[in-house]
Amino acid sequence: MGWTRKDLLSMRELDASEITLLVDTAASLQEIASRDIKKVPALRGKTVVNLFYEASTRTRTSFEIAGKWLSADVINFSSGGSSTSKGESFIDTAKNIAAMSPDVVVVRHSSAGAADLLARTLPCSIVNAGDGAHEHPTQALLDLLTIREKKGHFEGLHVAIVGDIAHSRVARSDIHGMRKLGMTVTVAGPPTLIPPFVQELGAKVSYRLEEAIGDVDVIMMLRLQQERMTAGLIPSTREYARFWGLTLDKLARHARPDVLIMHPGPVNRGIELSPEVADGPYSVILDQVSRGVAVRMGVLLLLAGRKGGDGA
């Protein structure tokens, strides 16, 4: 059993043993964060390019730190300040970067399928760091690693994913990953933000927060993605916050005392999460961020460390 894929594009394409390998690899790399010298020579001489066409704090930074801790050379590209602003197309930019022989290209783009397109076009390994509302596999992997560390296992856990499901690539990747590992997933949100056919991914649907958080081990709150929304999906952010915002009061009345509160960030404080919940004892939001570095190290290691670099 080993890693054989050239690319990491989605949770949908992975099977349970591949997901477990990624999570296990990340878990064993976490120890590096606590060393005085946070660097191991595993990817010496490998080049990782971060190709980001969308704003990002956590994901881009953690891929950069992950690459550097593994001794890879990491180059950051962001669409502002590049030839994109001179009118170069996405695929032309990518081919030019590929001509400089990177080993891994980490790509984030607002179009679903962007990473897939690169994977079919370029010889190097591609990591999907978020493509539109499609998938964000490394976020799902770090969510899974955090859950396993806090709960000790996956099988039989019940997770509620709450909020703007329709625009969320995190929700899609999480649902795929969690279902494959034997977890139950309930998605909850206002009907306008629940995509059609979400049941086909194996998730249950609820339209009431109080009901959805009732008997779950994990509550995953999603950011209200106002920048992706067309008008009219919710009456107002104030009303959304009132019905769908998670407050200490709602937690105390409806949720289990050992529930974990997760959020992929960035948090809209006072909308989907009250500050007392975001910073409270149930919250593992910053644990997720720490695990993010380990997960991205694991992904880079498995992709760039494959025999011969590509092909094999």
In angstroms, the CA 246 to CA 230 distance is 24
The binding track of 54-93 with respect to other proteins, each residue x by CB under 8 A or -, is: ----------------x-----------------------
In angstroms, the CA 130 to CA 9 distance is 9
In angstroms, the CA 189 to CA 213 distance is 12
187 or 303: whose CB is closer to other proteins?
Answer: 303
Q: Which of 9, 18, 25, 194 binds other proteins (CB under 8 A)?
A: 25
DSSP 105: E
Check residue 243 for interaction with other proteins (CB under 8 A). no
Q: Which of 11, 29, 170, 181 binds other proteins (CB under 8 A)?
A: 29
40 or 112: whose CB is closer to other proteins?
Answer: 40
One-letter amino acid at 152 equals G
The binding track of 193-232 with respect to other proteins, each residue x by CB under 8 A or -, is: ----------------------------------------
Instruction: State which H helix or E strand residue 260 sits in.
Output: strand 260-262
Check residue 101 for interaction with other proteins (CB under 8 A). no
Q: Which of 16, 17, 28, 242 binds other proteins (CB under 8 A)?
A: 28
Residue 32 CB, nearest approach to other proteins (Å): 8
Check residue 294 for interaction with other proteins (CB under 8 A). no
Question: How buried is residue 56: exposed, middle or buried, by Cβ count under 10 Å (0-12/13-18/19+)?
Answer: middle
Residue 124 CB, nearest approach to other proteins (Å): 14
Residue 42 CB, nearest approach to other proteins (Å): 4
In angstroms, the CA 248 to CA 257 distance is 12
In angstroms, the CA 311 to CA 125 distance is 10
Check residue 123 for interaction with other proteins (CB under 8 A). no
Helical H runs in the chain?
16-29, 58-69, 90-98, 114-121, 137-151, 169-180, 209-212, 237-244, 248-254, 275-278, 285-304
Of 33-41, 129-137, 170-178, 201-209, which segment contacts other proteins by CB under 8 A? 33-41
Mention every residue, 6+ apart, whose C-beta is less than 8 A from residue 272.
162, 163, 221, 222, 223, 224, 240, 241, 244, 245, 246, 263
Of 57-65, 217-225, 242-250, 299-307, which segment contacts other proteins by CB under 8 A? 299-307
Residue 299 CB, nearest approach to other proteins (Å): 13
Angstrom CA distances, 154 to 18, 83, 229, stand at: 15, 45, 33
Check residue 311 for interaction with other proteins (CB under 8 A). no
Q: Which of 16, 17, 39, 227 binds other proteins (CB under 8 A)?
A: 39
Check residue 37 for interaction with other proteins (CB under 8 A). yes
CB 97 within 8 A of CB 49: yes
In angstroms, the CA 71 to CA 58 distance is 20
Q: Which of 15, 36, 155, 258 binds other proteins (CB under 8 A)?
A: 36
Residue 126 CB, nearest approach to other proteins (Å): 18
Q: How many residues bind other proteins (CB under 8 A)?
A: 28
CB 218 within 8 A of CB 157: yes
Query: Which residue in the block uniquely carries the two structure tokens 């139950």?
Result: 184
What are the residues binding other proteins (CB under 8 A)? 1-4, 21, 24-25, 27-29, 31, 35-37, 39-42, 70, 301-302, 304-309, 312
